Each structure stands twice: as C-alpha cells, then as structure tokens.
Structure 1
C-alpha cells in the first residue's frame, strides 16, 4: 500500500492536495477535515488515537496516528503521505492543548509540556514536510493559532505564550519560504464552542472550587463561571456577560471555513482572524490604554474576582498549576 502512489486530484484542488491535518478527533480539526473532503480534496486526518477519527475514513480521507510529542509518529505520518503522493500539498497544524492556571504557580515542567505540543511539535512537523515541498516548488502551511497571540488573558499565560511563539515562527517561515513557492498562513480563532473549551471546564469541575492556593481561588472560580457562559450555561454568572459570551462564541464550522479558504485561495492573506469578535478584540487591544484593557479583560474573564484585591498569604513558590488534558481544538 505504501509503495502505491495515489493520484493527486486535478483541477482547482491540485495545488493544495493532499492535505494533512493534525488534531482531528474533535472540534476545529474534525470540522476542517469534513469541509475539505466535501470540497474535493484528498485529506489525511490525524489524531493521537486513530480510533478517535475512524468515522472520517472514506474514499478521499485517510486517517493516521500523529502525536506532536512523538517524533516517530510524525515521521511515519509524513512518510505515508510522501510515498503515496510525493509530498504534502498543504499542512494544517491544528492540534494543541491549554495549560490553565496562575503564572506564579506554573512549574517549568508544565511550561515545557505546553511548548512541546503547541510549538516544538508543530515546528518539527513543518521541518519534516518542507524538504519535499521545496523540491516540488510548491506547498502551503496553515498554522492555527489564537487571538491569544495578540490579546493575553489572565490564567492563560502558558497557552498564550505558546501562541505568541507560534505566531513569530509562522511569520518567519512566511518570509523564508516565499522564494520556494511555499505559502504560510496563520488562522487566529477567537471564542469557539469546542471540546477544547469543554475539556478545560471539566478539568476545573474535577478539581472543585478550591484553587491551587487561596490567593487564586476566587480567580479560578470566576474563570470557571466564564467557561460556563462560553458553553451556554449562563446561570453561572451575570446575565449580561453570559448573553454577550454566548452570542459571540461560534461553532467550529466558522473556523473550518476560514481554514479551507487559507488552504485553497490562490493568494491567501498572511493572517485570518475569525470570527468578527476576534478582529474587534485585537483592534480594541491596540486602541485602549494598557490599564483600561487590563481592567476590562479581568472583569470579563474573571468576574468580580478580577477587580477584588487578592488576600494576603504565604509565598506560593512551587505549588502545582493545573493542566488541561491534551485535548485537541
């Protein structure tokens, strides 16, 4: 099977197929695989556990195991595509997870784990795919970042730091690869109702309302209420905030449509921010004074805990931060 080359589709799909997508078990990755298969592309949908993507299998969709923390699995996936098609036409780097917790309590180990998936694994996969793209003189890389790469949120320090790094690497690749006919695009989603958000919510619920240290209990409870709003359980917090968050939170299909555009447009934009609230948030971040932005962000994402003075207590050094199990977007 590996030595039998699958014909690459002709016509509009030819420059971008085949398409390899990471993190297809749920959410944005799964919606993107469905969208691109529907549009006529040959897709390799990957996940850490192949069983999680078995429903995607079809005549123009093959599923593979790919774990961004496992070099062997990345090499194997790239080799399969290259043996069957000669090269990866488009690489969609979507897989990731979020490390949630106060920066003061974040251990070096947890920060490394966050970067291992969201930055180092993504970067390594690009390195594996690029030689064949350069040899062909064409190719595309679509990196799925976050508006967190421009608008940092409280308790999301590790995650947004990883997205800042990914954005910088993406922009570096865009300039370095242009002479070889390879296009690099960054898609920056805002609030999206996916299992990614649900995994965070379950993690907070599992740990109960007691935070890792009394100084941060109120902030963690406030953030848990916000997650309830994002997941359409508005009774957890103020009605106005719940209504606002529920109205601006979009389904994964909105991002999948944008990724499909980024993957197939003849001249894609360097950055896509989706949905509308993502563009408005970044514009507000640039327009508002830093103190005003901080106060607004604390109120929106931490509730009253964001405005209250923290209780005085013992030093927090060495206390563990919480990790959201490696859910995919």
Structure 2
C-alpha cells in the first residue's frame, strides 16, 4: 500500500511545523506549505516535502495541489492551519486589514478545501482538519476581527461536515487554547500598533500584557500537543467532530456555554485587566 498523503499549511513554525513532523513520523507523505521556503529547511532535512504556497493567492494554491497530485497521485489529509491574529479595536482596525485577516484565516482555508475535495471525493475518503481556536467559541477584548474569522471557520466546518459525509470524508475542528508559538507576540504587537494610542489605549495595554506576560507564557501548552491531537483525529476510524486542547480551552469553552453574556464579559475583564469604564 502507498502511504497516505497529507498537506499542512502554515508549516514554517509552531503548530504547522510540529504537525508536519508528527504525520511524517507516522508514515505519511507530507507536503508542508508556507510562503517562505527558507523557513522550512529543518522539515526538508527530516524528509518532508515543502511547497511554496500563499493561501491568499489562488494560482499559488492551485499549483500546490497540482504538484501534490502529480507527485503522489492523491491527497488524504488537508490540515488548514495557516492563520494569524490581528487584534485591535473594531473602530481602529482598517477594513483592508480586516479583509486580509478573513482572506487568510477563512477564505484561504475554504478555497484550499475546494481544490482538495474533488480528489478526496474521487477516492471516497479523506480528512479535512480546520484549526480554529477556543477563540471560535469565546470572545476576548479587542479581538473582534480575529474571533470573527474563527467563528466563521467553525460554521463552515459544520456545514461542510454534512455535505461531504456521503463521500466518506471527515471534517474535524481543532480548538487550541494557549499555545507556545509566535501567535501571541504577533497579535500583541499588532494590538499595540493599532490601538496603543487614542481612546482604547488603556484597554490595548492591558490586553497586550495579558497575552504575552510571564504568567500567560508559563501556562501555554507546547505545539506538539496540537500535532498529537491532529494525528489522533486523522488516524481514528471515527474521529470526534471537535477537539478542544491546550491551556484553558476546555474550561473557557465550558464557561462561555453556561455563563450569561454579561457574566462572561465580566470574567474577561477580570482575566485581562480591562476596566469597565473608559479612561
């Protein structure tokens, strides 16, 4: 039997890199995709195929899928991991930046799924793994655009799961909590740059510190935990539809489900140090 074939996006670091290595160790033929090939030399050394891919560029995604089919003849697993968090007050974030975040976090994943599905349907088998976040179930201060993308990807995943089940294709959502990656630093830097001055400055400073402060860093889970969960999902005969893993994911999702909106708002203010009153 030929080994199963997996495509992992956002594979130059963090969760994507760990997932590519994990699936490779399990015997998968892995194609690791990211915009910059020079950041994936460690994956090349490990025997992982690397593909230059920009999930906001249709030609780039088409070429990547065509390369995989030409070289391996099939695609069994698609891990939509590429994404980032652009925090800032709704009033401050430009609509162009908001669109860019949706292009990467939502439309990139959706378009790559469209390109992979004909091959999976032909095989009558496959797994699509969408990396959302506990942020696809909860809300935090100054994160509206980021949370909007993750809520959207959760909904798309649910609808997609119904559509492709008759073809033997699984759709799995992974909802990470706090993970030791570059994500928090990038999001905090963007938050400070976007809302660090003006009406929302006090909130921005408090929220940024809660994201990258020592207390937060100590509690974050390693990317390998998410990689192991993805591997568990794609090798299961009947995977769960959702896996909430990593620091804070399960308890936060549980509290959001059972607390009222205002009670959860109060919890978020307390956890992040955001004042109820404007400065």
**Deviation at 1:289?**
2.1
Number of aligned positions between the proteins: 279
Match in the other structure for 1:314: none
Q: Distance in 2 between matches of 1:125 and 1:204?
A: 29
Structure 2: stretches of 5+ with no match in the other structure: none
Q: Which one of 84, 90, 107 corresponds to residue 103 of structure 1? A: 90
Residues 102 and 204 of structure 1: is their aligned pair in 2 closer, same or farther, counting only changes over 3 Å?
closer
**Deviation at 1:247?**
5.0
Q: Which one of 221, 228, 240 corresponds to residue 212 of structure 2? A: 228
Match in the other structure for 2:223: 252
1:8 aligns with 2:8: no
**Deviation at 1:60?**
4.4
Q: Which one of 289, 302, 307 corresponds to residue 275 of structure 2? A: 307
Match in the other structure for 2:109: 122
Q: Distance in 1 between matches of 2:47 and 2:39?
A: 18
**Deviation at 1:198?**
2.4
Contact (CA 8 Å) 1:295, 1:307: kept in 2 or not?
A: no
Residues 220 and 67 of structure 1: is their aligned pair in 2 closer, same or farther, counting only changes over 3 Å?
same
Match in the other structure for 1:326: none
Q: What stretches of structure 1 move > 6 A for 4+ residues in a row?
A: none
Contact (CA 8 Å) 1:90, 1:142: kept in 2 or not?
A: yes
CA distances 1:291-324 after superposition (whole Å, capped 9, x unpaired): 11101101212x1xx224103xxxxxxxxxxxxx
Contact (CA 8 Å) 1:8, 1:85: kept in 2 or not?
A: no
Q: TM-score, normalised by structure 2?
A: 0.95
Q: Distance in 1 between matches of 2:103 and 2:184?
A: 20
**Deviation at 1:280?**
1.0
Match in the other structure for 1:217: 201
Q: Which one of 136, 146, 149 corresponds to residue 162 of structure 1? A: 149
Q: Distance in 2 between matches of 1:292 and 1:161?
A: 21
Q: Distance in 2 between matches of 1:48 and 1:153?
A: 29
Match in the other structure for 2:259: 288
CA distances 1:147-187 after superposition (whole Å, capped 9, x unpaired): 11110111110010000110111111111000001111000
Q: Distance in 2 between matches of 1:151 and 1:204?
A: 19
CA distances 1:251-297 after superposition (whole Å, capped 9, x unpaired): 11111111111222111100000026211111111112221110110
Q: Distance in 2 between matches of 1:136 and 1:81?
A: 15
Q: How does 1:142-153 map to 2 (within 5 A)?
A: 142-153=129-140
**Deviation at 1:20?**
0.3
Partner SS for 2:7: strand
**Deviation at 1:24?**
0.7
Q: Distance in 2 between matches of 1:161 and 1:204?
A: 16
Q: Distance in 2 between matches of 1:84 and 1:75?
A: 14
1:189 aligns with 2:176: yes
Q: Distance in 1 between matches of 2:247 and 2:186?
A: 24
Q: Highest relative contact order (Cα 8 Å, sep 6+), 1 or 2?
A: 1
Structure 1: stretches of 5+ with no match in the other structure: 1-6, 10-16, 235-241, 312-329
Which is greater in Rg? 1
Partner SS for 2:49: strand
